Every structure is written in structure tokens, then in C-alpha cells.
Amino acid sequence: MKTSDTLQFEATEHATAIEALQYLDVSGHDEAMLVGGRFLTMNEREAEKLAASGIAAAYIGTINRIVDGKVVERICTIPINDDGPDAIVQLD
């Protein structure tokens, strides 16, 4: 993609990853994503369009870990179009 190219997609921006994940429960959106430092939610079609564009982004999700013998839910990112060493990040 050239620097002069643009990609338009519909999404809702949120202040935090937690807010984006919570919004999925009450909206018609399917995916929470981190794009250019912005927490976004969007429908599956828009997420696929973004992934196909080659723009570095990441899906936002949760994983369960055992901490001190207890199951703790953690927020993490799952990168797409980014092979760099900092691609996978735990957000909490």
C-alpha cells in the first residue's frame, strides 16, 4: 500500500481495551482491534477488510492464566500483518 493510499472502514473508537471488549457485548460489532494505538470495534466484514489491506493491527481478546492458584482473565493482542518482536502484547 502506498503512503498516498487510504483505507476507509467503519468502526467505533474506545478509550481502553477493556471498554472495547465490553462494547462487543452490547453492540452489533464482532471484533475489537488495536490499530495505530487506537482501540476500535467493528463488524467482521470491516475487520477482514482491514486484515486484507496489510496494515499492521491486532485483534484484542482475553486469555485465562493461573496466578497464585487462581484463574485470572488477562487482555492480550493477537497481531495481524506485523511480524516484529513487539507484536504480541499483554495489555493489563
Provide the domain count of the chain.
1
74 neighbors 32 (Cβ within 8 angstroms): no
In a domain, 73, yes or no: yes
pLDDT of residue 57: 92
Q: What sign does the CA torsion over 75, 77, 20, 25 have?
A: negative
Rounded mean pLDDT for each run of 10 residues along the chain, 92 residues in total: 67 95 91 94 92 90 92 92 59 56
Domain ranges, residue 64: 12-80
In a domain, 23, yes or no: yes
In a domain, 91, yes or no: no
